[in-house]
Homo-oligomer: A and B are copies of this chain.
Amino acid sequence: MTEFITPAAEPAPLSAEELEHLDAWWRACNYLAAGMIYLQDNPLLREPLLPQHIKARLLGHWGSDPGMTMLYVHLNRLIRRCDLDMIFLAGPGHGAPAVLAPAYLEGTYSEIYPDKSEDVEGLRRFFRQFSFPGGIGSHATPETPGSIHEGGELGYSLSHAHGAAFDNPDLIVVAVVGDGEAETGPLAASWHSNKFINPIRDGAVLPVLHLNGYKIANPTILSRISHEELDYLFRGYGWTPYFVEGGDPELVHRELAATLERAVAQIKTIQHEARVSGVASRARWPMIVLRTPKGWTGPSSVNGHRVEGSWRSHQVPIADVASNPQHLADLEAWLKSYRPEELFDADGRLLPQLRALAPLGHRRMSANPVANGGLLRRELRLPDFRDYAVSVERPGGSRADNTRPLGSLLRDTMRLNMRNFRVFGPDETASNRLDAIYEVSGKTWMAEKRPEDDDGGYLAVDGRVMEILSEHTLEGWLEGYLLTGRHGFFATYEAFAHVIDSMFNQHAKWLDISRREVPWRAPVSALNILLSSTVWRQDHNGFSHQDPGFLDLVTNKSGEVTRIYLPPDANCLLVVADECLRSSDRINVIVADKQSHLQYLSMEEAIRHCAKGIGIWAWAGNDDHGPEPDQPDVVMASCGDVPTLEALAATEILRREFPTLRVRFVNVVDLFRLAPPAEHPNGLSDADFDTLFTPDKPVMFNFHGYPWLIHKLTYRRTNQARIHVRGYKEQGSINTPLELAIINQVDRFNLVIDVIDRVPKLRSAAAYVKERMKNEIIGHTQQAHRYGIDRAEIRDWVWPE
């Protein structure tokens, strides 16, 4: 276990010279990490430090940097010795200095940003830009070479790391988990990701729990439990923990070197044995607990308070440097303790013998193309989605489970992309009727299998369907998978998509910044989320499962990276899914219920309808039949499968009851067509909007989600006040489908009443129809409460021929 499998490796203690070089590289990292927090000039301290060399505002986080750079330096050593393919994820919040410093010292930074050249002036600019207006942030933001994990919000380093490792058999992903981050829920759950790593097919994740000891103002829990508990915890999580602990750099150098060798050897051994034998079984992969002092090598105390080894070194260890001469002197002494004069040549470039310690080219973790995954991304090979069409002879004439054909499409997509496509979902792939996928690939499962699993369990060590009951872990895996150049599809419960609201926010921000500010990042595949088990079919789950508000969240993020589709039937869902699977640098949210629904559009019609994203369904309305074509009395609009059904049924009642009423029927698939073009690239022009909705006629809009979202999107449209929206308004319990629609007033009967109330020519004459609608509502509610079902003719309603 202690021998490297790779021929290049020779396990051996560090020689004095190697130790000296490693330590020098580490000092250079730490010098840069501290320098970027403080200095705007005099970057190598070749003049006495003066207040004008200090930035006006001292921002950035020192605390976890030296521990992380120590690790980075030693990983570089192993990469060189063993020709490892490795990337580095900095979990600790604000840990950017610890990855920016080596990225600069390895030369990557200057290659990407030539003005941050490897000389005194480049270093000055490098320091100055850090946490500086117009510069870069203190997290490993998209601007950071080698990063796929920003870390501003805590909890996702380990799930991102596993996502990167899936289907990357030669890759080792080192994930530094901060001990603050380790307290979060998403991180605590993601330790179990090791049960999903197949040693033949996947790469490895080497987690390093950095027991830095403190958060902003508190000790961390994991740093204050016993060694035994810590050891148990990680063994319980299924890892083999190794401990490296100490504050003496030389000892930590030696221990870390030996431990990393041991860990990497263990990884290589596990993989080798599995790959030679062809038997993939669950491994107890190594992980490392690295306990070093917070703010290590920084000032040990300031103003009589302990700083090194205390939460006081979390951010800027010495404050008021420009105004306090003693602090200025302390800072200078601290910075000089790294002996920059022994590290950089006259031009300000790292000395050649130190440069030689970094890996070369793409082996540098800061330059590994895996961390700019768009470079490696191959287009998804997609079957022709038309092949999965459901037959629709006339609108509303037949039924289908809307998501089943999508399942077949995903199955064959999987078949064509068995190395770079995975499907994710919290235990609901079958429940969402996507189970055709299992014909091609089962669910990844490396934990224990039992005989009964063979009866419909679809568990497989080489499965490509990822199921775990943690939306956080799934989303993190998927993000890591996409950011390293692959493709994926995530199906989840609509109401519980809110569990990952914040992850959605962060990924949208990552994509937005990458697109706007980071031209060297190649586009990555879209993150595709299917929200199924939607609000309108929660008749037996009740109120807690009714929440269509994820869409509201999506509309708060940049229109350049967000799309929302609400296909009304199976063929539209296929068209939309094809579009989503082909797209990049976006988050596509599709809302589609899994249950049996009426079908409206043939495949060719669906293609035309979805290409526009919004359109008039002439067959449903009658506004082109009257004496004044294109002058409807009312526009009935719908968005979403169930609201479309009800809006169609209402339209049919209206046309039956009021033959002279001219109704236009508009269906919306692409929600952002409603937004102003200035706010979303898909937004309709005002002229087109008025052409569809008329400039002045009442619009009755039946919406899948919260009604006010439509007002939010349309508030600048002509005569916005005539747009009346129905949608979910937090009314629901155990109801039949129709009853649920009724209590939220998205049902056909209430829609008819709404139209009567809003079309002047109906208002007076239609009292008897309103009365009948009210009686229908009462009758259906009584039916539901008496028999627990909707009336049969309602369930089986079809659009008349």
- Is A391 on the interface with B (CB-CB < 8 A)? no
* Cα–Cα distance between A132 and B739 once the two chains are bound (Å): 12
Q: In the complex, what residues of B have CB within 8 A of residue A215's CB?
A: 427, 469
Q: Does A183 contact B (CB under 8 A)?
A: yes
Q: Which residues of B contact A544 (CB under 8 A)?
A: 137, 139, 141, 150, 152-153, 506, 509
Q: Which residues of B contact A131 (CB under 8 A)?
A: 540, 734
CB of A347 closer than 8 Å to a CB of B: no
A154: B residues at CB distance < 8 A: 469
A171 at the interface (CB under 8 A from B): no
Chain B interface: which of A81-89, A271-279, A620-628, A704-712?
A: A704-712
A495 and B785 within 8 A (CB):
no
- Chain B residues with Cβ below 8 Å from A448 are 219, 224-226
Q: How does the 8 Å CB contact mask read for A442-454 relative to B, with 1 for contact and 0 for none?
A: 0101011110110
Tell me the residues in window 379-436 of chain A with beta carbons closer than 8 Å to chain B beta carbons.
427-431
- Give the docked Cα–Cα distance between A238 and B228 (Å): 10
A759 neighbours in B (Cβ, 8 Å): none
Report A557-573 residues with CB < 8 Å from chain B CB. 557-558
Task: Assess the B218–A183 pair: CB atoms within 8 A.
Answer: no
* A553 at interface, CB cutoff 8 A: yes
Asked if residues A195 and B219 are in contact (CB atoms below 8 Å), the reply is no
Which among A141, A183, A455 has the greatest number of chain B C-beta atoms within 10 A? Answer: A183
Interface membership of A27, Cβ < 8 A? no
Q: How far does the alpha carbon of A455 sit from the alpha carbon of B304 in the complex, in Å?
A: 10
Residue with the highest number of chain B CB atoms closer than 10 Å, among A187, A309, A445, A730: A730
Q: Are B132 and A734 in contact (CB under 8 A)?
A: yes
Q: How many copies does the complex hold?
A: 2
Q: Which residues on B sit within 8 Å (CB–CB) of A94? A: 541
What B residues does A132 contact at CB under 8 A? 734, 788
Q: Which of A483-507 contact B (CB under 8 A)?
A: 495-496, 498-499, 501-502, 505-506
- Contact call A498/B495, Cβ cutoff below 8 A: no
Task: Tell me the complex Cα distance, A472–B470, Å.
Answer: 14
Q: Are B305 and A543 in contact (CB under 8 A)?
A: no
Within the complex, what minimum Cβ distance (angstroms) separates A302 from chain B?
A: 12
A221 touches which one: B181, B192, B720 (CB < 8 A)? B192
Q: How far is the CB of A471 from chain B (nearest CB, A)?
A: 8
CB atoms of B541 and A138 under 8 A apart: yes
Cα–Cα distance between A708 and B453 once the two chains are bound (Å): 50
Assess the B730–A218 pair: CB atoms within 8 A.
Answer: no
Q: Are A472 and B185 in contact (CB under 8 A)?
A: yes
Residues of B within 8 A of A238 (CB): 225, 229
Cβ-defined contact, A498 with B502, below 8 A: yes
Determine if B427 and A218 form an interchain contact, defined as CB atoms under 8 angstroms apart.
yes
Q: Within the complex, what minimum Cβ distance (angstroms) separates A724 from chain B?
A: 10
Is the beta-carbon distance between B133 and A788 smaller than 8 angstroms? yes
Contact of A134 with B784 at beta-carbon distance under 8 Å, contacts A502-B501, A540-B57, A730-B512 already known: yes
> Which residue of B is nearest A455, CB measured?
B305
In the complex, A138 Cα to B784 Cα: how many Å? 18
Question: Shortest Cβ distance from A535 into chain B, in angstroms?
Answer: 12
User: Is there a chain B Cβ closer than 8 Å to A459's Cβ?
Assistant: yes
Question: Is A586 interfacial (CB-CB < 8 Å)?
Answer: no
Q: Tell whether A184 is near chain B: CB-to-CB under 8 Å.
A: yes
Residue A733 interfacial (CB < 8 Å)? yes
Q: Decide yes or no whether A473 CB sits under 8 A from chain B.
A: yes
- Chain B minimum-CB-distance residue to A57: B788
- The answer, yes or no, to whether A186 is at the interface (CB within 8 Å) is yes
Q: Which positions 140-169 of chain A face chain B at CB distance < 8 Å?
A: 141, 150, 152-155
CA distance A431 to B93 in the complex (A): 16
Q: Is A715 an interface residue (CB 8 A)?
A: yes
**How far does the Cβ of A592 sit from chain B's closest Cβ, in whole Å?**
19
**A317–B33 Cα gap in the complex (Å)?**
61
A123 to B736, CA, bound (A): 23
Query: Contact mask A187-231 → B, CB, 8 Å, 1/0?
Result: 111111001000000000000000000011111110011100111
**Pair B730/A720 contact, Cβ less than 8 Å:** no
Who on chain B is nearest to A237 by CB?
A: B233
Q: Report the nearest B residue to A739, measured CB to CB.
A: B133
Answer whether residue A549 sits at the interface, using C-beta atoms and an 8 A cutoff: yes
Of residues 506 to 545 in A, which have CB atoms within 8 Å of B's CB atoms?
A: 506, 509, 512-513, 517, 539-545
Q: Is the CB of A456 within 8 A of B734?
A: no
Contact B547 A505 (CB under 8 A): yes
Q: How far is the CA of A31 from the CA of B706 in the complex (A)?
A: 41
User: What is the CB-to-nearest-CB distance from A705 to chain B, in angstroms, rounded to a whole number?
Assistant: 9
Which residues of A pack against B, CB within 8 Å? 40, 55-57, 59-60, 94, 131-139, 141, 150, 152-155, 180-181, 183-192, 195, 215-221, 224-226, 229-238, 305-306, 309-312, 427-431, 443, 445, 447-450, 452-453, 455-457, 459, 467-473, 495-496, 498-499, 501-502, 505-506, 509, 512-513, 517, 539-545, 547, 549, 552-553, 555-558, 706, 708-709, 711-713, 715-716, 720-721, 730, 733-736, 739, 784-785, 787-789
Instruction: List 18 contacting pairs A-B, 8 Å CB cutoff, sorted by A.
Output: A141-B544, A153-B496, A180-B427, A180-B469, A185-B473, A216-B430, A217-B467, A218-B445, A224-B448, A225-B447, A229-B237, A310-B452, A513-B733, A547-B556, A552-B552, A552-B553, A711-B712, A720-B721
For the A-B complex with A131-B540, A152-B545 known, give 17 more contacts whose Cβ atoms are closer than 8 Å.
A134-B785, A138-B541, A139-B541, A183-B192, A183-B470, A188-B191, A188-B192, A217-B427, A218-B467, A221-B468, A310-B452, A312-B456, A499-B501, A505-B547, A509-B543, A555-B708, A708-B713
